[in-house]
Amino acid sequence: MNYFVLGESLPHTMSPEIHKELGSDYGVKEVAKDELKDFVLSKKYCGFNVTVPYKVAIIDLIDDVLGDAKEIGAINTVVNRDGKLYGYNTDIGGMVYALYMAGIDCKNKSVAILGTGGTSNTAFYAAKKLGAKTVFKVGRTSPINYENIYGLEINLIINTTPVGTFPDSDKCLVEIEKIKGLESVFDVVYNPLETELIRRAKKLGLKTGNGLRMLVEQARLAENLFFDREIPQTETERVLQKLYKEKKNIVLIGMPSSGKSSLAKIIAKTLNRELIDLDSEIVKEAGMEIPEIFEKFGEKYFRDLEEKIAVKFSSKFGVVIATGGGTVMREKSFNALTRNGTLFYIKRDLQSLISDGRPVSKLKGVEQIYLERKSTYEKAHYTVQNIGKLESVAKEIIDIYEKNTRY
């Protein structure tokens, strides 16, 4: 393995996919902290990228730190040239490009950087380079922290911490609704594809961007260093769009018996994707059928379990998810499913819906349930009428997804 990403624990890294798409044979190397020095100094590689927690620690092991990396004080790319190790920072190029493509302007702005680690150095340098008026870091024990930040006017927030990643995807370090003068939010996190921070920013109508475009662009810049070549920047956009479409989940929501499970099977088979049926996963977890869960433990117990299962499987990438009729009625479940997913509301005439074996439908009646859930279902990204052959409806969903899924 001549080229790879180096880190302590990298179970969900997308780097190999990106670099292979850019044309190189690339892998993953997980190294414990006490083994880092020996591994780096072994020099049994041609080059590698560095991720947390080693971007700063690795500086002392490199022969020569070049370019922006010297000023930033963090390295994310190492090249072995004839036994001499050269350290670079391509994160800076990735971040500058991602901010530009998101339409986020730093010039004469007040910028708050959440976090004090290696990536915060990159963000600080990028903001200064782009002409920010003031730039400061926010940390738990810093002079400006998560308690007193609300007294300041801030135009741009850049999150460089891992807060908001799975499994704690509903976490957010600051209440951006309380910040005066906020115009834009950038989050280096890209798992999930839409963090809670970005979701809130979009709700406020702010300009937003995340770390996925940054990740792909820095990979392109690293490839140029690895192989002494110039891959055109258009490749960043090609790889980004391909990756994003492959990673986005297709999530079907709607009334019980509206055809979600049947359609999900067809879509998953057509696209060669993993199928997740949340009701089936609930049955597996509980070891009993859903009517029995209701009978023995009641609806609240079932809804709590349903929420747990929805949050768990929403962290997956590139799958087709069929939800239960009431899954999205819990805000936590709805938000979790949207983080990595495109939601399709499968709409069907009420007269065609059945209630056999469906505890809530039998108890309340189909029309009453529909009236209670209608407004939530309509928050889906797209609505598709389930009329006619299932194959035709599935094709319509796929066509909408393929045509509209862009970063």
| Contact between residue 254 and residue 248 where contact means Cβ atoms under 8 Å apart | no
Matching residue, tokens 């060669």: 272
And the tokens for 71?
A: 């000023």
**Alpha carbon distance 338, 159 (integer Å):** 20
* Residue of 43, 55, 109, 389 marked active site: 55
User: 69-76: which pairs have CB atoms within 8 A and are 24 or more residues apart?
Assistant: 71/125, 72/121, 72/122, 72/125, 73/118, 73/121, 74/118, 74/119, 74/121, 74/122, 75/50, 76/49, 76/50, 76/51, 76/218, 76/222
Strands 47-50 and 77-81: antiparallel
Cα torsion 50, 123, 220, 216 to 10°: value is: 90
**Alpha carbon distance 100, 168 (integer Å):** 29
Q: Is residue 178 annotated as a catalytic residue, yes or no?
A: no
Please list, in sequence order, all residues whose beta carbon lies within 8 angstroms of the beta carbon of residue 4, skipping any fewer than 6 positions away: 16, 26, 27, 28, 29, 45, 48, 49
* DSSP 8-state assignment for residue 405: -
**Alpha carbon distance 174, 87 (integer Å):** 34
| Contact between residue 155 and residue 182 where contact means Cβ atoms under 8 Å apart | yes
Residue positions annotated with a catalytic role: 55
